Amino acid sequence: MKSSAFQPHSLPLATPAPLAPLPSRLALPAIGPRTALFLDFDGTLVDIAGQPEAVQIPPGLVALLAQLAAALDGALALVSGRPLADLDHFLAPLRLPTAAEHGAQCRQPAGQIVTLAAPDLREVIRLGTALAARHPGLRVEVKTAAVALHYRHAPELQALVLQVMTEAAASAPGLELLHGKCVVEVKPAGISKGSAIEAFMAAPPFAGRLPLFAGDDVTDEAGLGAVQRLGGQGIKVGDGASLANYRCDSPAALRQWLLAASQDAAGAFTTGLSTTTGGTPT
């Protein structure tokens, strides 16, 4: 296998925290030397927190991702709704290829960052901020090319948040609404995690591989559909209807699956994944 910018020794490999035993379930799909691996962040790699900045990074996760990226010759990318700066902060010093803000901001494998021209978000910010000022349980997140209104701490306001953000999305051309877990986001029309994955798959080191994407939210369905159209496999993390052809119980179960893959990579992907990875076909 050719050398990669992501070498196993590029970061100290911390010992992961002990993983709790999982129910006996069928194995998730194997990660092999020709896999292109795409991973969502919140609710997939890490547990969702009450506030976006309160996410906890499990011990050993950064080193584990670095080792997998090296084993895959760099064909591992994050695909998230978060801004790129957030992801880099949580996973420092690791810098993976990344589609941030659903693909509005992308770091290519060679390191260059491509950002879409930001749409006119002034009215979106105004409406979202005004609503949050009246309801302390709401939180406005202004990203590079999008605005998200979080209502995790005020779930009873879901209908009102959706109404206001629908109005906001109509305030300027080129905007669309995206509804996720306790969040409604106004973003540039036409971008999605699916189109971001397709763009990665068109160029090295991802081109010619079989894509595999894991995500937990409605916002990940476009990515799950894209990888399966390309002949790959999708993993839905947690409950809820999904296009994915595999399901994983929780972020902890997904991390255990990744750990098994990294251990297998040490043997050049020769043994396959164990049956304790906590997944089942959907």
Instruction: Output helix, strand, coil percentages for the chain, rounded to the nearest 5.
Output: 35, 20, 50
CA distance readout (Å), 144 to 45, 84, 105: 23, 9, 8
Burial tier of 9 (Cβ tally within 10 Å: 0-12, 13-18, 19+): exposed
**Furthest-apart CA atoms within the chain: distance in Å:** 58
Of 258, 247, 193, residue with least CA distance to 222? 193
CA distance readout (Å), 126 to 156, 166, 179, 188: 22, 13, 19, 17
CA 239 remoteness from chain centre = 16
Alpha-carbon distance 63 to 91, whole Å?
9
**Residue-wise DSSP of 43-65:** TTTB---SSGGG--PPTTHHHHH
Is residue 196 within 8 Å of residue 99, measured between CB atoms? yes
* Residues designated as active site: 40
Cα-flanking dihedrals φ and ψ of residue 141, to 5°? -120, 115
Alpha-carbon distance 256 to 147, whole Å?
33
